[in-house]
């Protein structure tokens, strides 16, 4: 077993040119050993046998773990299947991964550009960056608005599609503009997953995601990761993980790796059903603000179709009032009223209940699961009818 820093090496590049399903079921697996399982079980270890001078990859449980190594290889093979020298690091949560990039790359006096319509925890991050003397500029995702505030920035943070509004920006365009100004680029790839979008291929320096969502897809794991190709930048991210101790447990890492094998099956089913649901909501008199990047009439469709291979499992729309939204959610039978997204069981929520998102009171974020499409669409349309005034 090799150190995770080699998870983009030529010895694991034999899958180039393979389809997503073939790659996913074999991603990160070690060389076969007679009588051993194809995917070794989780390694529970705080320390390792370490006689003499420590020269091996595994010294202490906060720094490395063989179970992480295999998972990091697997994610790296999905995020950048045709690139050598790419490194992936896994974290205890998506926000741990986000924080590792921001706080390892930025210093007092630097400027960072964040999306104004990104994940609702970003305002908390902004407050902490402000406290450290880092200037924060924000602009919406749609219309590539972040271009207008790039001058002098050290880091551009992109979230595309945005959560929960589902706007999409041109990653190639933004990355080229940022790099011309000496600015690093990180892309939150949570909603797209590596099967929908590969930020490094689009010019980003970092692809960052919450593995809690569709990557693992069962609603039972908190996980995050950072993938990048710059050795120095990733060394800083690794150092931050060591300092903060923001590491995943071996069981979580093993569950995540196991789940990746079914990612293409889940993504294809969920994303196709998301499109079917969005199509069924078109023209409904009580539904406004319908968004799904895979709808040809969606404002994000043109650029999404140029840089995304799949459009995601989240559909958003607005019902007339807070009360109507609550009645709709209560009438659903096949959908859980829960936060997060990407799981095999459909979930939906009135997003405004949390505060922090600039959305109407009746805004619904709907995460499409793996149910039969006809059953799910029928349930949603019935709930719309039953929730009418």
pLDDT tens for each residue of 196-230: 999 999 999 999 999 999 999 999 999 999 999 99
Q: List pLDDT tens digits, range 260-272.
A: 999 999 999 999 9
Other beta carbons within 10 angstroms of residue 63's beta carbon come to 13
Residue 53 pLDDT grade (very low, low, confident, very high; cuts 50, 70, 90): confident
Residue 9 pLDDT grade (very low, low, confident, very high; cuts 50, 70, 90): very low
Given a cut of 70, whether residue 5 has pLDDT beyond it is no
From 357, 362, 332, select the one nearest 345 (Cα to Cα).
332
Residue 56 pLDDT grade (very low, low, confident, very high; cuts 50, 70, 90): confident
Torsion angles phi and psi, residue 115, rounded to 5: -75, 140
Most confident range (mean pLDDT) of 5-14, 350-359, 372-381 is: 372-381
3 burial via Cβ count (<10 Å: 0-12, 13-18, 19+): middle
% of residues, the chain, pLDDT over 70: 96
List the Cα angle 98/99/105 in 5-degree steps. 100
The stretch 61-88 carries a mean pLDDT of 96
What are the tokens at 8? 């983009």
Residue 16's pLDDT is what? 58
Given a cut of 70, whether residue 11 has pLDDT beyond it is no
Q: Cα separations (Å) of 263 from 27, 218, 374?
A: 11, 11, 22
Residue 331's pLDDT is what? 98
Q: 350 CB contacts (<8 Å, ≥6 apart)?
A: 322, 325, 326, 329, 361, 362, 363, 364
Q: List pLDDT tens digits, range 177-194.
A: 999 999 999 999 999 999
342: left (phi over 0), alpha (psi -120 to 50) or beta: left
Cα 124 from chain centroid? 19
Higher pLDDT, 174 or 389: 174
Contact 86, 249 (CB under 8 A): no
Distance CA 203, CA 193 (A): 16
Given a cut of 90, whether residue 369 has pLDDT beyond it is yes
Contact 213, 341 (CB under 8 A): yes
Distance CA 366, CA 98 (A): 24
Q: 321 CB contacts (<8 Å, ≥6 apart)?
A: 361, 362
The stretch 311-333 carries a mean pLDDT of 98
Beta strands in the chain (DSSP E): 87-91, 111-115, 135-139, 155-159, 184-188, 206-210, 224-228, 288-291, 314-318, 336-337, 347-350, 363-367
DSSP per-residue codes, 225-286: EEEES-HHHHHHHHHHHHHHT----HHHHHHHHHHHTTHHHHHHHHHHHHHHHHHHHTT-TT
DSSP per-residue codes, 148-160: GG-TT-SEEEEES
Torsion angles phi and psi, residue 11, rounded to 5: -70, -15
């Amino acid at each position: 077993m090799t150190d995770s820093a080699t998870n983009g090496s030529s010895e694991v590049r034999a899958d180039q040119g393979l389809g997503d399903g073939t790659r996913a079921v074999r991603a990160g697996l070690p060389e076969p050993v007679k009588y051993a399982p194809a995917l070794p079980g989780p390694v529970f270890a705080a320390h390792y046998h370490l006689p003499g001078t420590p020269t091996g990859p595994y010294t202490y449980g906060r720094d490395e773990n063989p179970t992480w190594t295999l998972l990091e290889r697997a994610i790296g093979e999905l995020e950048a299947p045709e690139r050598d020298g790419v490194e992936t690091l896994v974290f205890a949560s998506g926000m741990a991964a986000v924080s590792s990039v921001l706080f390892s790359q930025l210093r007092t006096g630097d400027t960072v550009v964040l999306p104004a319509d990104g994940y609702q925890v970003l305002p908390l991050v902004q407050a902490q960056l402000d406290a450290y003397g880092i200037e924060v500029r924000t602009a919406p995702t749609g219309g590539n608005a972040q271009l207008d505030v790039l001058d002098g920035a050290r880091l551009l943070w992109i979230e595309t599609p945005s959560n929960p509004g589902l706007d999409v920006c041109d990653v190639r365009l933004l990355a080229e503009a940022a790099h011309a100004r000496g600015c690093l680029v990180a892309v939150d790839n949570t909603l797209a997953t590596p099967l929908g979008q590969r930020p490094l291929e689009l010019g980003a320096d970092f692809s960052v995601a919450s593995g809690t969502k569709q990557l693992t897809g069962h609603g039972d794991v908190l996980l995050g990761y950072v993938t990048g190709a710059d050795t120095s930048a990733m060394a800083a991210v690794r150092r931050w993980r060591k300092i903060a101790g923001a590491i995943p447990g071996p069981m979580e890492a093993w569950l995540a790796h196991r789940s990746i094998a079914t990612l293409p099956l889940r993504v294809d089913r969920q994303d196709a059903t998301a499109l079917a649901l969005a199509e069924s909501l078109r023209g409904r008199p009580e539904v406004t603000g319908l968004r799904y990047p895979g709808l040809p009439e969606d404002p994000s469709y043109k650029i999404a179709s140029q840089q995304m291979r799949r459009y995601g499992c989240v559909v958003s729309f607005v019902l007339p009032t807070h009360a109507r939204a609550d009645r709709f959610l209560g009438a659903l039978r096949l959908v859980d009223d829960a936060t997060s997204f990407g799981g095999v069981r459909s979930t939906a929520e009135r997003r405004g209940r949390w505060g922090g998102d600039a959305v109407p009171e009746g805004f619904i974020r709907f995460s499409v699961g793996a149910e039969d499409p006809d059953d799910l669409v029928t349930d949603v349309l019935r709930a719309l009818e039953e929730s009418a005034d």
